[in-house]
Structure 1
Amino acid sequence: MKKIFADLHCHPTMHPFAFKEADKDRKNSLWSDNKPKKRQRDSAYPEYFQTSMPALARGNVKLVVAALYPLEQSWLDPEIIGEGDISDFIAKFFISHLPVRYINMVQSDSFNYFEFLQKEYEFLLQDHNKTYKVNGEDWKYVLAKDSMDIEQYESDENVIIVIPSIEGAHSLISANADQIIHNPEVHETTLSNIQKIKTSWNHVPLYVTMSHHFYNGMLGQARSIPDGAASFLLHQQVGLNEPVNPRGEEVIDCLLGIGKYKGNGKRILIDTKHMSVSARLWYYHKIAKYNEGIAASNRIPIIASHMGFGAHDTILDSITLPDTDKKKYEESKFFNPWSINLSKEEIRIIVESGGIIGLNLDQRILSGAERIEKSKEFSNHDIKNNTKKVVQFWTKQIGENIIEIAKAVVDSDISETEKAKVWNSICLGTDFDGMINPVDSFIVADEYKNLMDALLVYFTDNNDFKALAMGLSIETILEKIMYQNVYDFVIRNYK
């Protein structure tokens, strides 16, 4: 039987949707096969497609949660990067690798986030259940409506099951970036737009990632943009680290279908990635209180869809030194200590809720400054040829994030049964095609199987891992991380 894989968070529509909207006659389909060239293995914000349907098919990826994301205008703000040919060049080659015509659409004052969210969903629908050839075999993807759909197609080897999600609650507002900040009345559209999604979309999103890189007028975001050119050009300070406001609280209730919104349609879960620490603390308390006395099948699980380990014991420890203090990252070693990543306390909260943690394959999210500097010692030849030492380096980085996530639970003072649940809670949430800088050894969906094989080798002789395995074999744990945990999670929660 072939190994199969799942991804809790990736962006297969990101590039082809942009090319389609820009009226390009190439790269404009989810079946467009834009493979990386050898020289692109070390590309940051790659132009090649990481999760095209052909890449997913070649990689035997059975199940993906496809994040729909109307691009935030602040990435391309003309007041920051200027206007005309030079700004178009900056936006295309240094920020997004998207067509200039699409970039100009996003920059327009008439740009409407919810309108583009609906367009991206319709784009995802276009090839649903249509057959295409990949390496001489018939393949198709199907959009699942619920867990029964997922169970129906799981045994079909040549079907990719896709579930939509939404990244950024800005996507739910019929407005542009300026209006979200300066015209409070535009937020009146948000609740009705959620109801449109719940009642008129045949495939309701599994979750909404409430925050993203820029403020959405509902809750604050954690710092995500590193120092350097991007930090200089892009102003992320507005709303940084802000708590949830009453508007955001109501939107979360509406998505979850709780409180006065009970019974308003299919539950849409909340993804805590990118949320500020204060917003996460509020949400964790809210969910813990809601889940008290509720049957396990009806509890609300916490999703952290594309994360890394943050090397802090508690959530508040992660902001003792602000993320904006350069020393915080510059003096970090193995792991990225920014508050966007998970503390040990948070990991335990997520696992206890029956939630799930996706591993982001972005270099910076997985790595502290010392490790990033170490990765720069590899020659271009080593990286382009993905030599053994490069593979070992990045396998160790991913493996150590897994070990620390597991250790946060297994080393805690809870029952053995509860400790073992951590191995049901870790999966891939690569953020592929989401404008990331992927780890150089595993850059496309075709290579998930290479990652699995490399982790098997790494964990086999790792005593720290063996001490955390809770009686499970390495093979069983890897099967859970690479596929089974996502499958089991959506079967439980996508009803």
Structure 2
Amino acid sequence: MSLEKNNYVDFHCHPALKPYGKSFNYKTIGVNNFNRSRSNSIWHYNPPSIGDKLLNYIVNLTKFSQANFTSLSKGGVSVICASLYPIEKPFFDNKLKTEFLKDMASNFATGVGKKRVDAIQRMVNYFEDLDREYDFYLQLNNVVFTLPEGKFKYRIVRNYQDIEAVIEASKQPSTKITTICVILSIEGLHVLNSNIELPPNEDDFLANLKAIKQWDAPPFFVTVAHHFWNHICGHAESFTNLVKSQVDQSQGLNLGFTAMGVNIINELLSDTNGRRILIDVKHMSVASRQEFYDIIDNTPAYKNLPIVVSHGAANGLASFKDQTQKGSTVATKLNPVDINFFNAELIRIAKSKGIFGLQLDERRVVNKQTLKDTKSALSRSKIMHYRSELLWYQMQHIAEVLDAEGLFAWDCMVIGSDFDGIIDPLNSFWTAEELPFLADFLERHAYNYLQKKPFNNPDNNLEADEVISRIMTKNGMRFLKTNF
């Protein structure tokens, strides 16, 4: 990990989701293939074709691989939080009439393969699937791959000291291998359920959580909610367009925490049963987020708990009670849905010394009108300019909200791409390989904005390159040094 390289940090991506899914096409499932030409290799390079890009542009479906380790290597990413995600069964119980159409639509939407879809439709044990995905990462841990750009490997790290050791090793003249540090996380605590056909059993959920805490590399943080009811806490509506029209999220939608859910939160945050696992509030319903913040506020042991949003967006709305878009000059451009985060939450996250991962999903970062009004172009550089501005609106809004509160504006934002998490990426920034271009274009927007010295707090009027360096690398590394 040479210090001259980009050293980007991504707080949320899914390198294994597609190759692990494709492993179900082979005789032995769950094998992470050393041969990176095979679709069940986490290094399998599958950049989008013209047809893939058109498909994404027209119907917002992303079948190509975005966060395979070859793309991450080419994009200069040095640290990722790799999200383990056993896909939820209701995802494939859609409204289409025949099993064939259901399978085809589901495979089409996720790119994981029909046999993986079939396995999920039969699944009764999420925890077993989680264990198998964890093992998928372990299989090629520390294994060196030779690419045209040089020699690369990934290493699963257990703490910041492991990351420091990788950095120190990279400084040695004899080191000719670039290492990507992998921090594990989990998206959705439905994974604690080892028999989804029976009523939820708290003892079983807690036993599975205890087992996770005993892993050699337990997750740094977990996203408690995800797309469907998990008997722990209510979720926010997360689907749009085609998927929303076919998949039912209604059970548990917008509910708060169950009694079992509160116990699970306390077990996650306990340091008497293993290392504390931080809570990622993404995907929680408004009611669940309110209850979680109340738990923090009323529990002395959680006084200094940093709030994590691994992959999110601001909605421009003032607060849970005042749902008007304000707080910045671009607030009305943002998507005012409650899976996105309110200004009062942004302030809370910053004051907690937490982290806010900016996701690279067009559908989340701005509203439909802003997206519709975005200029079109044939030149790739112009497309990149216009589409990167959509993410810049998020950065500008968050910075202006924090500045108005008298806070430093540039130390809580990072990238949480959600690559390979079934997202609709910013056009022309299709995969991790394009992250250097994203950094360059964001710096242009930052430069144009910061020329005006717009902030009340003079500390916030930084140089553009420093702002982008913080968001792409420095903020994430500082948060990891403090908390991991």
Check whether TM > 0.5: yes
The residue type paired with residue 468 of structure 2 is: L
Q: How many residue pairs get matched?
A: 453
2:408 is the counterpart of 1:408: no
Partner residue of 1:325? none
Return the alpha-carbon distance in structure 2 between the equivalents of residues 349 and 14 of structure 1. 32
Residue deviations 1:304-357 (CA, integer Å, cap 9, x gap): 111111011112334x99xxxxxxxxxx95111001111110000011111000
2:235 to 210, 214, 221: 221
2:106 maps to amino acid: A
Partner of 2:349: 350
**Pairwise CA distance, 1:391:** 1.3
| Counterpart residue number, 1:437 | 424
- 1:59-101: CA deviations, max 9, x gaps? 11000000000001111016x33443332212212x2222111
Change (3 A) 1:84 1:285: closer
Residues 408-433 of structure 1: CA deviation (Å, up to 9, x unaligned): 11111x4xxxx12x311000001000
Shift of 1:441: 2.2
1:105 aligns with 2:119: yes
What residue in structure 2 maps to residue 197 of structure 1? Answer: 212
Partner of residue 360, structure 1: 359
Give, in whole Å, the separation in 1 of the partners of 2:294 and 2:154.
38
1:18 pairs with one of 16, 21, 24: 21
Q: Is the 8 A contact 1:62 1:154 kept in 2?
A: no
Assess, with a 3 A threshold, how the Cα gap between structure 1 residues 315 and 140 changes in structure 2: closer, same or farther.
same
Say if 2:441 is the partner of 1:454. yes
CA contact (8 A) 2:67 2:432 kept: yes
The aligned residue for residue 85 of structure 2 is 69
Deviations 1:354-382 (A, max 9, x none): 1000001001110101022234x737xx3
Whether 2:53 is the aligned partner of 1:41: answer yes
How many Å apart are 1:493 and its aligned residue? 1.2
Q: Distance in 2 between matches of 1:225 and 1:51?
A: 21
Provide the secondary structure at the position in 2 that maps to 1:461: helix
Residue 166 of structure 2 corresponds to residue 184 of structure 1? no
Q: Determine the structure 2 residue equivalent to 1:134.
A: 147
Q: CA deviation at 1:36?
A: 1.4
Confirm whether residue 163 of structure 1 aligns to residue 183 of structure 2.
yes
On the 8 A contact 1:175/1:186 being kept in 2, the answer is no
* Alignment-mate amino acid for residue 112 of structure 2: L
Query: Could you say what secondary structure the match of 1:141 adopts?
Result: strand
Q: Tell me if structure 2 keeps the 8 A contact 1:150–1:491.
A: no
Take 1:293 and 1:372, find their aligned partners in 2: how far apart are those partners? 39
1:285 pairs with 2:294: yes
For residues 376 and 132 of structure 2, the distance between their equivalents in structure 1, rounded to whole angstroms, comes to 42
Partner of 2:174: none
- 1:59 paired residue number: 75
Distance 1:101 1:336, change over 3 A: same
Describe the SS at the equivalent of 1:158: strand
Aligned partner letter, 2:397: E
- Measure how far apart 1:467 and its partner are: 2.0
CA apart distance, 1:245: 1.4
What are the superposed Cα offsets for residues 137-179 of structure 1, whole Å, 9 maximum, x if unpaired?
1110000011110111135270000001000010121123xx3
Unaligned runs of 5+ in 2: 28-32, 171-176, 326-330
- Note if 1:467 corresponds to 2:454: yes
Alignment partners' CA distance in 1, 2:192 and 2:64: 28
CA contact (8 A) 1:362 1:439 kept: yes
Please give the alpha-carbon distance, in whole angstroms, between the structure 1 residues aligned to 2:252 and 2:451. 40
Q: Residue 117 of structure 1 corresponds to which residue in structure 2?
A: 130
Provide the C-alpha distance between the structure 2 equivalents of 1:83 and 1:141, rounded to a whole number of angstroms. 42
**Aligned 8 A contact 2:307 2:355 in 1:** yes
Partner secondary structure for residue 460 of structure 2: coil
Tell me the secondary structure at the aligned position of residue 154 of structure 1: helix
CA contact (8 A) 2:317 2:343 kept: yes
Name 1:378's counterpart in structure 2: 376
Whole-Å Cα distance in 2 between the matches of residues 245 and 369 of structure 1?
A: 34
TM-score after normalising by structure 1: 0.87
The 1:83/1:118 distance shift into structure 2, 3 A limit, reads farther
| Residue 441 of structure 2 is aligned to residue 477 of structure 1 | no
2:277 to 247, 263, 268: 268
Q: CA deviation at 1:111?
A: 3.2
Deviations 1:378-422 (A, max 9, x none): 37xx3xxx623321211111111001011111111x4xxxx12x3
Does the Cα contact within 8 Å between 2:388 and 2:426 map onto a contact in 1? Answer: no
Q: 1:477 to 1:289 in 2, by over 3 A?
A: farther
Letter in 1 for 2:279: I
Identity %: 30
Q: What amino acid sits opposite 1:97 in the alignment?
A: G
TM-score, with structure 2 as normaliser: 0.89
More relative contact order in 1 or in 2 (CA 8 Å, sep 6+)? 1
Structure 1 distance, partners of 2:178, 2:300, is 38
Comparing 15-24 with 82-91, which one deviates more in the overlay? Answer: 82-91
> Which residue type is aligned with residue 114 of structure 1?
F
Look up the SS of the partner of 1:403 in the other structure: helix
Distance 1:373 1:269, change over 3 A: same
Tell me, yes or no, if the aligned pair for 2:74 and 2:149 is still in contact at 8 Å: no
Other-structure match for 2:307 = 302
Moved over 4 A (4+): 291-294
